[in-house]
């Protein structure tokens, strides 16, 4: 008999198979025992088993089916294979098929309400498992997203640190080159000044400067210019030596060599000094304004004191003096009149 695939509730059932039990596969399956006497698919019994061949060999339903006059050639078997992880799904499928087709030999001596309860219970269990699977999938997705974000953030941080380190190393290399270049320029200028000074000294030593009179008479104007130039060179050398530029540059170079933080601290210190200078200037301006206010208040106090003193003098002391002067003058007038 040619085998076909029958789709029932989204599951592919293989069949029909004859009642040749030794040729049946030994596997987990939901099976349908059907009758095809009228060339129609009429399920007689529906069940499921972990070992299909062994179960059907010992199944008592075949005795009931054959006892009612059904011929063995008219009995066929269809089955849908499932694995052990799909056992609950197989139970639900079995109950659904029984409810749909109502096979005759499934309902003999069976409590229908109990079957309905089992179907409902299986559906609820399947729904619970679906919800649990959904929650687990969401949690797994969140864990994956968080892990990805954490990894990406860590990667970005490492890249930033590497870029920052590369920039610092580049700046340090440029700063060292600049210091070395400035140092070389300063050394070359110093050596040039020293060599010029030596040449001028040699030129002066070759001159005859034993008497002042001969110098005034014989030395040309170029020697006077030469002496002025020598004095200028000596002044430049003293100024350069006093500034200790080379020592400062060497000290700075040694201090910052191999330390990017110290390279950055140089402009920071400079900015701090500028800020301190600005704050100091603001504080001095504030003090100057306070002093000006104090001076204006002292001036006002002095003016007020003088004005008050003069007012007291003219209002109180001056009348007393005038009265006293008049009293002294009256006796004098009387004596003169007599």
Q: pLDDT class for 46, splitting at 50, 70, 90?
A: very high
Given this model, what pLDDT does residue 256 score? Answer: 57
Res 14: pLDDT: 92
Q: Residues 6 or more apart from 71 whose CB is under 8 A from it? A: 37
pLDDT at 241: 61
pLDDT for res 239:
65
* pLDDT tens readout for residues 296-307: 777 776 787 788
What is the average pLDDT score of the chain?
76
Residue 213 has pLDDT above 80, yes or no: no
What tokens appear for 192 in the block? Answer: 């040039």
pLDDT at 243 > cutoff 60: no
Please tell me the predicted confidence (pLDDT) of residue 177. 74
pLDDT band at 27 (very low <50, low <70, confident <90, very high): very high
Mean pLDDT of all residues in 47-63: 92
Q: For 124-140, how does the pLDDT look when each residue is reduced to its tens digit (9 = 90+)?
A: 887 888 888 888 888 88
Please tell me the least confidently modeled range out of 38-42, 53-57, 164-168, 233-237: 233-237
Who contacts 18 (Cβ-Cβ below 8 Å, separation ≥6)?
Answer: 1, 73, 75, 76, 77
Task: Give yes or no for residue 329 having a pLDDT over 80.
Answer: no
Q: What is the pLDDT of residues 244-298, one digit of tens each?
A: 555 665 665 666 565 655 555 556 556 765 776 687 678 778 877 877 776 777 7
């Amino acid at each position: 008999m040619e085998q076909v695939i029958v789709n029932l509730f989204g599951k592919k059932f293989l069949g029909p198979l004859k009642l040749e039990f030794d040729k049946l596969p030994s596997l987990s399956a939901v099976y349908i025992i059907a009758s095809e006497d009228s060339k129609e698919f009429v399920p007689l019994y529906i069940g499921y088993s972990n070992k299909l061949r062994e179960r059907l060999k010992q199944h008592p339903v075949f005795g009931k089916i054959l006892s009612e006059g059904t011929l063995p050639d008219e009995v066929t078997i269809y089955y849908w294979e499932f694995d052990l992880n799909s056992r609950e799904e197989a139970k639900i499928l079995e109950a659904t098929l029984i409810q749909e087709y109502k096979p005759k030999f499934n309902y003999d001596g069976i409590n229908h309400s109990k079957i309905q309860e089992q179907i409902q219970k299986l559906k609820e269990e399947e729904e619970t498992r679906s919800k649990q699977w959904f929650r687990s999938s969401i949690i797994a997705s969140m864990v994956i997203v968080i892990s990805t974000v954490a990894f990406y953030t860590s990667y970005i941080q490492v890249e930033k640190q590497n870029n920052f380190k590369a920039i610092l190393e580049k700046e340090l290399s440029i700063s060292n080159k600049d210091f070395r270049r400035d140092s070389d320029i300063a050394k070359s200028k110093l050596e040039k000044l020293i060599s010029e000074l030596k040449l001028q000294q040699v030129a002066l030593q070759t001159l005859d400067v034993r008497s002042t009179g001969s110098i005034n008479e014989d030395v040309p104007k170029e020697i006077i210019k030469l002496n002025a130039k020598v004095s200028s060179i000596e002044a430049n050398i003293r100024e350069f030596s006093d500034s200790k530029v080379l020592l400062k540059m060497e000290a700075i170079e040694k201090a910052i060599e191999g330390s990017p933080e110290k390279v950055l601290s140089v402009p920071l210190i400079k900015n701090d000094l500028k800020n301190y200078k600005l704050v100091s200037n603001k504080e001095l301006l504030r003090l100057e304004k306070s002093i000006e206010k104090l001076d204006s208040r002292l001036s006002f106090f002095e003016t007020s004191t003088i004005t008050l003193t003069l007012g007291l003098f003219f209002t109180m002391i001056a009348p007393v003096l005038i009265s006293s002067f008049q009293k002294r003058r009256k006796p004098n007038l009387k004596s003169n009149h007599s």
